[in-house]
Amino acid sequence: MKNRLKVERAEQNLSQADLADRIGVSRQTINSIETGRYVPSTILSLKLAQVFGKPVEHIFTLEETD
């Protein structure tokens, strides 16, 4: 699964720590999702989508291998 977190953060000028605070997870969690180390829960992706005001599908997209 690909994600656009880095780009969305840049658009809103948010650091990984800022974003983590906003949705109530650790900074490492954001970093790990962003670098593809793991797949977030649906609750997390809904919250991320909410922060950026965009649909989940715009931020996370399935790949062949998923």
Partner DNA sequence: TAAAAATGTAAAATATGCTTGACATAATGA
Partner DNA sequence: TCATTATGTCAAGCATATTTTACATTTTTA
Q: How far apart are CA 40 and CA 9, in angstroms?
A: 17
Nearer Cβ to a copy of itself (13/43): 43
Q: How far apart are CA 12 and CA 62, in angstroms?
A: 24
* Number of residues located near a copy of itself, criterion CB under 8 A: 19
Q: How many CB atoms lie within 10 A of CB 53?
A: 9
Q: Does 43 bind a copy of itself (CB under 8 A)?
A: yes
Q: Does 61 bind DNA (CB under 7 A)?
A: no
Residues forming contacts to DNA in the complex (CB under 7 A) are: 9, 15-18, 24-29, 31-35, 37-41, 43-44
